[in-house]
Amino acid sequence: MLSFLDPNTLARTYRDPIAWLILAVDLFPIIAVLTMGWGAVALVFLYWLENLIIGAVTLAKMTATSMRDGPGGLIRMAFLGPFFFVHYGMFCFVHGVFVSMFASLSSDTTPGFPTPFSLIDQALASGPNMTAFILAIILVQVILFLQDYIWGGEYRESSVDKEMMAPYGRIIVLHFGIFAGAFAMVALGEPMLGILALILLRALWGVFLTVRRRLRLDDALQTKS
């Protein structure tokens, strides 16, 4: 945590163009709020869809790591991959149901119980140009997966079990906090400053993760040298 606040570490982190790309994507929703009329509901749905993308990337990481371990790793992946898909999928589905309920409260509607596909449709329709924002998140995640995990060799130091557990802490620590904050915004009439604060909270978390990425890359370089 102290490294996160260290000016030298921050400066070293943001010499990397990818770090600026991550920050730009994290702050991009400000444009949607100021020019497209996005409110708290669209923001929470955006971050919920991001969780689904993280889940897909996690499966890709698990697969890459299992391939490193040869036939035994692939056999292990054959069991853990479907388990993660169902368990993480149910975790996100329940989270999505709460987001849908939150959306109905803010619009005074009473939709029926959603399905996974209807939740995705509802999320994509919750704000103008939502698809463009999702594609930007996918682009960042693909770049990080290829550059750090594959070409950078992180898959050699990881394990299927480690990658499988990684997304859960991210959801619990950050997104339930954002969800609670969004409820407060709706209760207060969705004030602009509050909605922008949610975006800045998410961006601050992104800076923290980007600094951790820099430190991880530095450790890898020292190990190689």
Is 3 a domain residue? no
Kindly report the number of other CB atoms within 10 A of residue 191's CB atom: 12
pLDDT per position as a tens digit, 87-140: 999 999 998 998 888 788 766 666 678 899 999 999 999 999 999 999 999 999
Task: Find where tokens 């997966």 sit.
Answer: 145
Is 189 a domain residue? yes
Looking at 81-85, 189-193, 214-218, which range is the least confident one? 189-193
Is 7 a domain residue? no
Looking at the 3D structure of the chain, how many domains does it have? 1
pLDDT per position as a tens digit, 150-177: 998 899 888 999 999 999 887 777 777 7
Is 205 a domain residue? yes
- Per the CB < 8 A criterion, the answer to whether 30 and 146 are in contact is no
Of 216, 223, 225, 222, nearest to 16 by C-alpha is 216
- Per the CB < 8 A criterion, the answer to whether 89 and 165 are in contact is no
Is 5 a domain residue? no
Is 2 a domain residue? no
pLDDT per position as a tens digit, 184-205: 766 667 677 778 888 888 898 8
Is 8 a domain residue? no
What range does the domain containing 121 cover? 15-220
Is 107 a domain residue? yes
Kindly report the number of other CB atoms within 10 A of residue 2's CB atom: 6
